[in-house]
Structure 1
């Protein structure tokens, strides 16, 4: 039997070999079967309106934590009436999937712009039954310590930001609710032995202050601009909260076109996360994901603080839906950020292939093969890693 990785690579190779303009046309016709235009009649009467799209279709994804996942994905792309070219397209995705590891998850990570981008409403909604691999706390844990930690999670995080001072600067606040329950772990394993606060469930309830600078030209797959998001949350024992702690996060990205002769893009990202005081187990910083530090399973290394950075070159081939990427990054976790040393950073690098799902919105299907220190993982999904 072929392994999951070999199967995905074979599918990818065949896709590249059979790609022709005829296949492109057939794909476009198939995509239209799953695309709905809620304001089609209004656009026919008024051409200044943005033609909203609701794309719903069966989806398949892959990550090392879930194996293959199958389900339904929907993406609502729209602008409010009265918005022109000065307002970027709002994005509201909804995904429900069930995995070969008997997991399920319902997720939406949304970003909504009001008219003339006076307000930005962003956030996350997540409901899942999710097994996590655990190796202990620290950046030097052993692979042999691996054990499985199962839990249910409900995460709700809306943030409201108002345009202030500059065209692309937004300041605001939000709330974050993160409930971990129905935990299941090995009776004689590390988790049961260490008994970190919240190992058997927790509820984090916090108020966040937030600032956002976002000058990206396209939200789903930027080719130019800056993105800087900063949040600082104070969590307490109110509204069901179980722990008092502070959580600070920063996400910095920059995109630029490599040449005027092609559409190749170079992207950079830096992520930082620090948590202090009486944080529960679920609020530690986890290294590894399908978005940054690709090649490491999520939570391969865990501690209070995390820093990570990556660069990605995105190659677009002329008159083709096919594209390719190479990426490189580094990062680590720490008990205290002042322990940071360049020499101890863990590497991340890899390659990927893209297929243009929606040319007008620059939306890709992506397959990445990431490598870390003694490990490698595949990731299949929709939209770019950052």
Structure 2
């Protein structure tokens, strides 16, 4: 499960890509593998040497760099732990635990992990997000017609903890469960006399959201990091109460629907589709409003360019893979909007997004790509560097 307010994805050491330029194809492959292995550790290599049926887990740690318009360039260290529990075979997908520590040119820092863990035979899925950051954000006002000229910056600290435990139920790829979500916003710094200071929405100077979530997940993707086929549908419903220690009473419903298919039997090209929704009711604090834009969906708009209670957005992406090469390309298009209430939805008001990008596969076994995208919105354009696909 991804979080809209954290658009950054890691980018592996840029020297890895630069190192491949100007060499022969054979030299590129050999040199790249040497560099990748330098940053890769195999915690269970001794056990794998004795039992070849075990999955060779990988702990990849390296200097990293990313870019998104919300953060500017970010530098730091990152790690990704890919593993399976002992006793898991081909029927169990690879668990993914990334950890990121970065500092940005906008004087931000963030520590983040968005994990997805499969137990043996996928009897359980444990997923969630852990985030601690100091995050300056731009604000243009509420509503679908907020003007660019209203831009102002505000800063805050955020601690988010969201574990969800899902048990396999009824059929192979269906999981149901529950979790908790704690989202604490504090040390907020706003512009004196600015739009936030004038309107002072509830929770503008900090808030704590603490609630219980129920969740359902259907996931039969063949690969979690870069699927070639399958469906993914997750929906969560959270109830937040002051009685639990929060500052506001409200409810939050989210869904994320994706589908992946190969249009040609003799090619590895992929068509990927995604639709997301976010719907809120009750006494909603400022930090829990829906923010449109980012590096995952509605690329081309800065995250938070438009702010409302509810959000609907979708996108489709064509992913082209070149044979006998680590390089690929994508084209994407979509649309979305924010609403005070989703019943206000109208097709004619959808904000468009479109663009394209390049890919470089850094791990063929896991199909893990470096990503460079350029997105265009209505009167805006942005570019993004990262690791792994947008969805």
Class of the TM-score when normalised by the shorter of the 2 chains: over 0.9
How far 1:238 moved relative to its partner?
A: 3.2
Equivalenced residue count is 377
Gaps of 5+ in 2: 1-14
Deviations 1:149-197 (A, max 9, x none): 1000000000000000010000000000000001001010010011101
Distance 1:363 1:12 in 2: 14
CA distance in 2, matches of 1:66, 1:27: 29
Structure 2 length normalisation: TM-score?
Answer: 0.94
The one of 330, 336, 340 equivalent to 1:331 is 336
- The aligned runs of 1:96-107 (5 Å cut-off) are 96-107=101-112
Looking at structure 2, the residues matched to 42 and 301 of structure 1 have their Cα atoms a distance apart, in angstroms, of 52
The CA distance in 2 between the partners of 1:20 and 1:292, in whole Å, is: 36
CA separation of 1:15/1:371 partners in 2, compared to 1, >3 Å: closer, same or farther?
A: farther
Over 3 Å counting, the alpha-carbon distance change for 1:250 and 1:86 in structure 2 is same
Q: Is the 8 A contact 1:272 1:307 kept in 2?
A: yes
- Equivalent residue number for residue 171 of structure 1: 176
For residues 101-149 of structure 1, the C-alpha deviation after alignment (integer angstroms, 9 at most, x for no partner) is 1100011100000000000000000000001100011000000000001
Alignment-derived partner of residue 269 in structure 1: 274
Structure 1 residue 239: Cα displacement: 4.0
Give TM-score scaled by structure 1 length: 0.95
For 1:144 and 1:383, how far apart are their aligned partners in 2? Answer: 34
Of 68, 82, 86, which aligns to 1:81?
A: 86
Residue 351 to residue 14, structure 1, CA distance change in 2 (3 Å) = farther
The residue correspondences of 1:131-280 to structure 2 (distance < 5 A) are 131-280=136-285
1:321 paired to 2:329: no
- Of 292, 306, 317, which residue of structure 1 is paired with 2:311? 306
Give the alignment partner of residue 128 of structure 2, picking from 120, 123, 126.
Answer: 123
Query: Any conservation in 2 of the 1:71–1:97 contact (CA below 8 Å)?
Result: yes
1:37 equivalent in alignment to 2:10: no
The correspondence of residues 86-97 of structure 1 with structure 2, limited to 5 A, is 86-97=91-102
User: Which of 375, 379, 383 is the aligned partner of 1:374?
Assistant: 379
1:186 aligns to what SS in structure 2?
coil
Q: Please say if residues 19 and 32 of structure 2, whose CA atoms lie closer than 8 Å, have aligned partners that are also in contact.
A: no
C-alpha RMSD over aligned residues: 1.6
- Residue 295 of structure 2 corresponds to 290
Question: How far did residue 357 of structure 1 move?
Answer: 1.1
Asked whether the equivalents of residues 300 and 374 of structure 2 are also in contact (C-alpha less than 8 Å), the reply is yes
Q: Which has the higher contact order (CA 8 A, sep 6+)?
A: 2
How far, CA to CA, are the matches of 1:45 and 1:265 in structure 2?
Answer: 37
* Contact 1:128-1:153 at 8 Å conserved across structures: yes
Higher mean C-alpha displacement, 24-33 vs 52-61: 24-33
- 2:60 matches 1:55: yes
Do the aligned partners of residues 13 and 47 (structure 1) sit closer, same or farther apart at CA in structure 2, a change above 3 Å counting? closer
